[in-house]
Amino acid sequence: VGVAYDNRFPDDVNFRPKFFLTEDAPKGPLERFQPSLQALADAKASGDYSNLLHIDPDGTAQTDYLVITPDTGINTQGTFIWTASLRDGRRNARAYFRNCEGIDVRNGMLYMTCKVDKLLFILDLDAMTYTQSSTIKGAFNDQ
């Protein structure tokens, strides 16, 4: 399991932080969680963020799952969406990104490594596009 978060715009009331979770399993999806608007407002007002991931007082917390769609004829790049369907997230993970565990988010880019197929995915969280490359050669050198 790996965890990363995106909070690029903490002062923007229209931007909620996003927390990402990988599941090291053959059909383990990439999960994106957005906290409740009320829980976020309460945390900002009080400075106590300890309940941000645990409470949903106004029913606005949201969990979504990654679904990628490779470009036609080019399986190393494409687009993606977030879906509320865990089933669709699991099916897509099994087809394209099995057993992912390493994850990081920097400047709107999400980096995720998947050890079974030895792949690195780079998701542009704003453009909703991705690229993938092998970790067998290059910087990871067969890791």
What integer pLDDT is reported at residue 142 of this predicted model?
54
Strand, helix or coil for residue 111: strand
Q: What is the pTM of this model?
A: 0.90
Contact yes or no for 69/76 (Cβ under 8 A): no
Per-residue pLDDT of the chain (143 residues; tens, 9 = 90+): 899 999 999 888 888 999 999 999 989 999 999 999 999 999 999 999 999 999 999 999 999 999 999 999 988 999 999 999 999 999 999 999 999 989 999 999 999 999 888 999 999 999 999 999 998 876 555 55
Q: 68 is written with which tokens?
A: 């990628």
Please say whether the dihedral angle defined by the alpha carbons of residues 22, 10, 67 and 56, taken in this order, is positive or negative: positive
CB neighbour list of residue 54: distance below 8 Å, 6 or more residues apart: none
What integer pLDDT is reported at residue 1 of this predicted model?
84
| Secondary structure letter of residue 34 according to DSSP | E
Q: Which helix H or strand E contains 41, and what residues bound it? A: helix 37-46
Only one residue has tokens 């769609």, namely 69
Nearest to 62 by CA among 84, 86, 38, 39: 84
Compute the distance between CA of residue 140 and CA of residue 119 in angstroms, rounded to an integer: 10
Compute the distance between CA of residue 124 and CA of residue 106 in angstroms, rounded to an integer: 10
